[in-house]
Homo-oligomer: A and B are copies of this chain.
Amino acid sequence: MRKVAVVGVGMTKFGERWEAGLKELTAEAGIRAIEDAGISGDEVEAVYVGNMSGGRFVGQEHIGALLADAMGLNPVPATRVEAACASGGLAFRQAYLAVASGEFDIVVAGGIEKMTDVLTGQATTTLGGAADQEWETFFGATFPSLYALIARRHMHEFGTTEEQLARVAVKNHYNGARNPFAQYQKEITLDQVLNSSPVAEPLKLLDCSPITDGAAAVVIASEDVAKKLTDTPVWVNASAQASDTLALHDRKSLTTLRATVEAGKKAFQKAGISPRDVDLAEVHDCFTIAEILAVEDLGFVKKGEGGKAVEDGMFDLNSDVSVNTSGGLKACGHPVGATGIKQVVEVTWQLRGEAGKRQVDKAEIGLTHNVGGSGATAVVHILSRYIDLRSRR
Which bracket fits the contact residues of A?
35 or more
Please encode chain A, from 228 to 261, with 1 for each CB lying within 8 Å of some chain B CB and 0 for all others: 0000000000001111111000100000001100
A246-B377 Cα distance, complex, nearest whole Å: 30
Q: Which of B53, B68, B101, B250 contacts A100 (CB 8 A)?
A: B101
Query: Which A40-79 residues have a C-beta within 8 angstroms of B?
Result: 47, 52-56, 58-66, 68-69, 74-79
* In the complex, per-residue mask of A97-118: 1 if CB is within 8 Å of any chain B CB, else 0: 1101111000000000000000
Interface status of A119 (Cβ within 8 A of chain B): no
Chain B residues, Cβ within 8 Å of A372:
62, 65
Question: Which of A62, A78, A80 has its CB near the most chain B CB atoms (within 10 A)?
Answer: A62
Determine whether the beta carbon of B84 is less than 8 Å from that of A62: yes
- Contact at B244–A74, with CB atoms within 8 Å? yes
The stretch among A128-136, A161-169, A350-358 that forms the contact with chain B is A128-136
Given known A55-B129, A61-B53, A77-B241, contact A66–B101 (CB-CB < 8 A): no
Closest chain B residue to A134, Cβ basis = B21
Interchain CA distance A203-B63 in the complex, whole Å: 27
Question: What separation, in Å, do the CA atoms of A377 and B259 have in the docked complex?
Answer: 32
A187 at the interface (CB under 8 A from B): no
- Mostly helix, strand, loop or mixed at chain A's interface? mixed
A320 CB within 8 Å of chain B: no
Chain B residues in 8 Å Cβ range of A376? 62, 65-66, 69
- CB < 8 Å neighbour of A129 from B59, B77, B97, B241: B59
Contact of A1 among B56, B63, B75, B103 (CB under 8 A): B103
Query: With A61-B52, A81-B79, A82-B61 given, is the CB distance from A66 to B246 under 8 Å?
Result: yes
Check B82 against A373 for contact (C-beta < 8 Å): no
For A78, A94, A100, the residue with the greatest tally of chain B CB atoms inside 10 Å of its CB is A78
Q: Would you call B100 and A244 a contact (CB within 8 A)? A: no
| CB <8 Å contact, B84 and A83 | no
Let me know if B103 and A97 touch, CB within 8 A.
yes
Contact check: which of B1, B74, B246 meets A62 at CB < 8 Å?
A: B246
The answer to whether B134 touches A243 (Cβ under 8 A) is: no
Residues of B within 8 A of A242 (CB): 75-77
Q: Check if A126 is an interface residue, CB within 8 A of chain B.
A: yes
Which of A65, A69, A84, A126 counts the most chain B CB atoms within 10 A? A65
Give the shortest distance, in Å, between A131 (CB) and chain B (any CB).
Answer: 8
| Chain B neighbourhood of A245, CB < 8 A | 65, 69, 74
Return A118 CB to nearest CB of chain B, in Å: 13
A316 within 8 A of B: no
Given A59-B137, A82-B61, A129-B61: A97 and B101 within 8 A (CB)?
A: yes
Could you give 24 example pairs across A and B, Cβ below 8 Å? A1-B101, A47-B243, A55-B56, A56-B56, A58-B133, A61-B129, A62-B83, A62-B131, A62-B372, A64-B243, A65-B377, A68-B243, A75-B244, A75-B258, A76-B243, A77-B242, A78-B377, A79-B90, A79-B93, A79-B94, A80-B82, A81-B81, A100-B103, A101-B101
A-B pairs with the 7 shortest C-beta distances?
A101-B101, A77-B241, A61-B129, A65-B376, A62-B84, A60-B133, A65-B243
